[in-house]
Amino acid sequence: MLKIFKFPDLRRKIFFTLLIIVAFRLLAHIPVPGVNVAAIRSFLQDNVFFGLFDLFSGGGFQNFSIVTLGMGPYINVSIIMQLLTVMVPALEELSKEGDYGREKINMYTRLLSVPMAILQGYGIYFLLNRQGVMTNLNAFDLVLLILTLTAGALLLVWLGELVTEYGIGNGISVLIFVSIISRLPTAAISFFATLTAENLLNSLIFGLLALFVIAAVVVVNEGTRNIPIEYGRRGIRSEKITNYLPIKVNQVSVIPIIFAVSVVMIPSMISAPMQASSNEFFRNAGFYLAQNFNQNTFMYNVLYFLLVVGFTFFYTSVQFNPEKIAEDIKKRGGFVPGIRPGAATASYLKGIVNRITLSGAIFLGLIAVLPFLIQSYVGTTSLAVGGTGLLIVVSVVLETIRQIESHSVTRSYESFLK
């Protein structure tokens, strides 16, 4: 591992990335003026919806810092742009134009992040104001608050792109990774503070379970099904070239979980305003939603699981088009051994993708409801493994290690040539 520091350019990239991470952590502790931070922290303890925002802002929300929005606006717009790239022909053609097309789509994503950040900034103020956590602001103070939050979100996007260009790894993913693991020291201290002889056995079981889950996430995240594709070459001697079409078990990463959590949080988000209504029907409905749709209830987690499975199939169908892939294989003169080119190949690929996606979707669903399962059967609540965070952490670590190894191999090869 220490060999990576013998290459000056790689060492410079790593130190630059660490410098940006330090800057990000400092920004997360600069609060927006005129906000009652203590009231917000108290509110976040019992609110899962805003707790998710705090997770992706690395504690910036509970400090109500200038980076309170975190990477949320950019992530949401990125997901929307991925869907539009598949659904809108003009964007689909643009995505096929190599680096130029990708750069144009990235530019659109950055531009659309501005109105998304403004919308989310006002949405946070509106919801916190209705909950009595924030006081009413006049027009000038409200505009100043929204512009500050928007500027903070765009600043994080800029820092992430600096890491991508001059550092190691995908900058946006690295900052999200830092946001998640920044909470581990506090959680670990809380865990060991509550550790007693009575719950020692449960804690050991939890530790072993956590290691098993991490190993399973790595296996599933890296798992692929390679479908052989043969191409016939004509010449003096006829020969066949065999390539492979890799189909990942988890093709969609954490996107289904992000979609699902956005939907499943709606009942708990609207329950408080409904309970404050003067209408008896809305009050009762709000009370029912608050009782049955929080992260510790069975109904909430069943709905969460089903939404993750459903969104996994939906997003996979958007990303993977068997008919298009079968047509491309046919145009290049290839075929799957034992399968006729064209429609038969498309049907064969669709069947494989559905089976793989089912196993991947069930796994994602179980990872999503993992905190509920751990708390229900192990009884450990002070250090729970979040499914979304775990998947992101594992994905970022694996990708960063691959980039470091790639840089090391390239530099070693160049040194050998010299």
Tens digits of pLDDT across the chain (418 residues): 555 667 777 788 889 999 999 998 888 888 887 777 777 777 766 555 565 666 655 556 677 888 888 888 888 888 888 778 878 888 888 877 877 888 888 899 999 999 999 998 888 888 778 777 788 888 888 898 899 999 998 999 999 889 988 888 888 888 888 877 877 776 667 666 666 655 667 667 777 777 887 888 888 888 888 888 888 655 445 566 778 888 888 887 777 877 787 777 777 767 767 776 777 887 888 788 777 777 778 888 888 899 889 888 888 887 788 888 888 888 888 888 888 888 898 899 999 999 999 988 898 888 888 777 777 665 555 444 466 677 778 878 887 887 777 777 766 655 555 5
198's tokens? 């009575």
Find the CATH number of the domain harbouring 152. Answer: 1.10.3370.10
pTM: 0.75
Answer whether residue 36 is part of any domain.
Answer: yes
pLDDT at 151: 92
Report the C-alpha gap between 304 and 38 in whole angstroms: 31
With H, G, I as helix, E, B as strand and everything else as coil, classify residue 130: helix
Answer whether residue 134 is part of any domain.
Answer: yes
DSSP 8-state symbol, 5: G
Answer whether residue 112 is part of any domain.
Answer: yes
Answer whether residue 268 is part of any domain.
Answer: no
pLDDT at 128: 79
- Residue 111 burial (CB count, 10 A): 10
Answer whether residue 1 is part of any domain.
Answer: yes
pLDDT at 326: 87
What is the residue whose two structure tokens read 């949320």? Answer: 72
pLDDT at 384: 46
Contact assessment for residue 13 and residue 167, using Cβ atoms and an 8 Å cutoff: yes
With H, G, I as helix, E, B as strand and everything else as coil, classify residue 182: coil
Which of 254-278 are b and which e, b meaning 16 or more Cβ less than 10 Å from the residue's Cβ?
A: bbbbbbbbbebbebbbbbbebbeee
pLDDT at 295: 73
- Alpha carbon 271 to its chain centroid, in Å, reads 26
Answer whether residue 157 is part of any domain.
Answer: yes
Answer whether residue 98 is part of any domain.
Answer: yes
Domain count across the chain? 1
Answer whether residue 119 is part of any domain.
Answer: yes
Q: Helices marked H in 343-386 — which ranges?
A: 343-368, 370-377
pLDDT at 187: 66
Distances in Å between the Cα of 98 and the Cα atoms of 32, 108, 111, 167, 247 are: 41, 16, 20, 23, 22
- Alpha carbon 245 to its chain centroid, in Å, reads 25
Distances in Å between the Cα of 60 and the Cα atoms of 40, 66, 289 are: 11, 8, 28
pLDDT at 154: 92
- The boundaries of the domain holding residue 103 are 1-182
